[in-house]
């Protein structure tokens, strides 16, 4: 995939004005950043570009102001953080539609500028050509370093590429390579481990995965619908009875395509999802009527580990259980630790992604051990659904 687009390099950035789309959409409260993981990833790339470029102008969105100015969602509070991170002053540009401010920025000697939340402008989400032209007027080249926004056809992601030579940013390039190593040209055998709450939200994910992977390990509440499709009673568990026929079709399709589907064989069950509640481990079929499966059980964890051991590559999306509440986080932690260990030992290439999955990976303490942890949420899911992402397509030369 990497040969289809240009990755920004020191040479291509040399002495250029660069407008760069980043994703600084971090959780904030009263102007304070609560979690800077996303920003931290792009800082090294920003520093490198600052060394060789003439000027770097950063564009981000923050929250969902839907085309209106909402001061609680201003990107200005990021100015100080950024300035400290790159050890130089950062100019904040409040009104990109105000040409005098824009010109001031372009003419200034500030090496680095930060634009106001791009979603304050209705044109951003409309992929508006005029707004894209305004962004483009600031620079000589465009860099997209926001994989997490690249499933959107927005002005700062897609339309802008019509006006400037466009490059993949350093973090986006690494992410695309990691994802491609996991699914497009993986070392086989390759498995996907998919958990989470509902099949309905991940139907296209499952359909695409069975055409690509050798094994699909299913956990979480979504496995319950598959168990039901195989006539295993799931009692009061979260499952989707309407989707039993769909689950059956997926099981058949998988068989036709040579993808082995592995379902849990036991579960950790309770009558209530609450902290400190009574729980039991039950084999499939041994549930009381009022019990629900809240995590996969130890026999399933052992079974999944055996399957993972056979694989050289693993893609992980979705926690194995209702991991927000102990002890239903056990399987996610144990499998996470196992995946981390195999990766550390060079036995496995592992890529994880998804909002809750990242939280589970952090809970297991293996974020630094996996080959790649995607923070891209929606874009990651669309990518594992096999969809093409407009922001990435637009970079193709
Ligand atoms: P991601 O955000 O990583 O894509 P999902 O949103 O699909 O993951 O799934 C995470 C949710 O699934 C969590 O809120 C978790 O509590 C829930 N979940 C997983 N297993 C179960 C279960 N057995 N019963 C109820 N909820 C579950
Ligand atoms: Mg989620």
The helix-helix angle for 330-344 and 355-363 (nearest 10°) equals: 80
Q: Residue 109 — very low, low, confident or very high, per pLDDT cuts 50/70/90? A: confident
* pLDDT (0 to 100) of residue 99: 65
396 in a structural domain: no
- Where is the domain boundary, 173, 204, 232? 173
pLDDT of residue 108: 72
Range of the domain at 134: 2-173
Tell me the best of 269, 296, 322, 326 to mutate to test the pocket of ligand 1, counting ligand atoms within 8 Å of each CB and taking the most.
322
Indicate which ligand has the atom closest to the C-alpha of 358: 1
The model's pTM is 0.94
Question: Are 248 and 341 part of one and the same domain?
Answer: yes
Could you tell me the distance, in angstroms and rounded to a whole number, from the CA of residue 319 to the centre of ligand 1? 6
395 domain residue, yes or no? no
What backbone phi and psi angles, to 5 degrees, belong to 212?
-115, -30
Q: Is 318 in the pocket of ligand 1 (CB under 6 A)?
A: yes
Q: Which one of 173, 203, 230 terminates a domain?
A: 173
Count of the separate structural domains present in the chain: 2
For residue 85, pLDDT over 70 is answered with: yes
Is 250 contained in some domain?
Answer: yes
Q: Looking at the structure, do residues 193 and 161 belong to the same domain, yes or no?
A: no
Has residue 237 been placed in a domain? yes
Task: Determine the pLDDT at residue 390.
Answer: 97
Read off the pLDDT of each residue in 364-369 and give the average, rounded to a whole number.
98
Kind plus residue range of the DSSP H or E element containing 269: strand 266-270
Residues 71, 190: one domain? no
Dist. CA 8 → ligand 1 center (Å): 37
Tell me what pLDDT residue 127 has. Answer: 98
Give yes or no: residues 233 and 305 share one domain. Answer: yes
Q: Is residue 79 domain-shared with residue 204, that is, in the same domain?
A: no
Whether 260 is in a domain gets the answer yes
Rg (CA), the chain: 23
Q: Is 324 in the pocket of ligand 1 (CB under 6 A)?
A: yes
297 ligand 1 Cβ < 6 A = no
Q: How far is residue 342 from each of residues 37, 181, 296, 314, measured CA to CA in Å?
A: 24, 17, 21, 11
Q: For 38-63, how does the pLDDT look when each residue is reduced to its tens digit (9 = 90+)?
A: 999 999 999 999 999 999 999 999 99
229-251 burial code (b ≥16 CB/10 A, e <16): beebebbbbbbbeebbebbeebb
Say whether both 155 and 284 belong to one domain: no
CATH number of the domain bearing residue 157: 3.40.50.1260
Residue ranges in the chain assigned as alpha helix (H): 10-13, 37-52, 77-86, 99-107, 122-125, 129-136, 170-179, 203-212, 220-229, 244-256, 298-309, 330-344, 355-363, 377-384, 390-393
In this prediction, residue 151 carries a pLDDT of 97
Atom of ligand 1 nearest to the CA of 325: 16
pLDDT in tens, 382-394: 999 999 999 999 9
Q: Which of 203, 218, 318 to mutate to test the pocket of ligand 1 (most atoms within 8 A of CB)?
A: 318
Average pLDDT of span 206-227? 97
Is residue 146 located within the same domain as residue 284?
Answer: no
In a shared domain, residues 157 and 119: yes
Q: Domain check: are 114 and 152 in the same one? A: yes
Which pLDDT tens digit goes with each residue over 27-38? 999 889 999 999
Same domain, 215 and 148: no
Whether residues 215 and 299 fall in one domain: yes
């Amino acid at each position: 995939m990497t040969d289809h687009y240009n990755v920004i390099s020191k040479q291509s950035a040399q002495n250029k004005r660069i407008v760069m789309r980043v994703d600084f959409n971090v959780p904030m409260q009263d102007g304070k950043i609560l979690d800077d993981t996303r920003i931290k990833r792009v800082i090294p790339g920003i520093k490198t570009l600052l060394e060789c470029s003439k000027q770097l102008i950063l564009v981000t969105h923050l929250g969902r102001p839907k085309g209106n100015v909402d001061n609680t969602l201003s990107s200005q509070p990021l100015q100080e953080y950024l300035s400290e991170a790159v050890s130089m002053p950062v100019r904040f540009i409040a009104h990109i539609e105000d040409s005098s401010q824009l010109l001031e920025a372009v003419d200034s000697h500030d090496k680095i500028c930060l634009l106001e939340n791009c979603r304050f402008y209705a044109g951003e989400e409309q992929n508006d050509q005029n707004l894209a032209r305004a962004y483009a007027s600031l620079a000589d080249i465009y860099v997209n370093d926001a994989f997490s926004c690249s499933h959107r056809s927005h002005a700062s992601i897609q339309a802008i590429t019509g006006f400037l030579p466009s490059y993949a940013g350093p973090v986006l390039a690494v992410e695309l390579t990691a994802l491609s190593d996991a699914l497009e040209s993986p070392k086989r055998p390759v498995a996907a481990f998919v958990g989470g709450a509902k099949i309905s939200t991940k139907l296209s994910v499952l359909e695409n995965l069975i055409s690509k992977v050798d094994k699909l390990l299913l956990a979480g509440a979504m496995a319950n619908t598959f168990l039901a499709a195989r006539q295993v009673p799931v009692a009061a568990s979260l499952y989707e009875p309407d989707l039993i026929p769909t689950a059956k079709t997926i099981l058949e399709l998988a068989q036709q395509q040579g993808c082995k589907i592995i379902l849990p064989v036991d579960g950790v069950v309770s009558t209530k999802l609450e902290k400190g509640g009574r729980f039991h481990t039950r084999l499939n079929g041994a549930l009381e009527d009022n019990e629900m499966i809240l995590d996969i059980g130890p026999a399933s964890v052992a079974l999944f580990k055996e399957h993972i051991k056979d694989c050289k590559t693993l893609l992980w999306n979705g926690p194995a259980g209702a991991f927000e509440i102990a002890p239903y986080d056990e399987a996610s932690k144990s499998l996470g630790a196992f995946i981390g260990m195999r990766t550390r030992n060079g036995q496995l290439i592992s890529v994880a992604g998804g909002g809750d999955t990242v939280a589970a990976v952090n809970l297991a303490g293996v974020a630094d051990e996996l080959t790649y942890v995607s923070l891209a949420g929606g874009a990651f899911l669309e990518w594992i659904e096999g969809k093409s992402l407009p922001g990435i397509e637009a970079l193709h030369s």
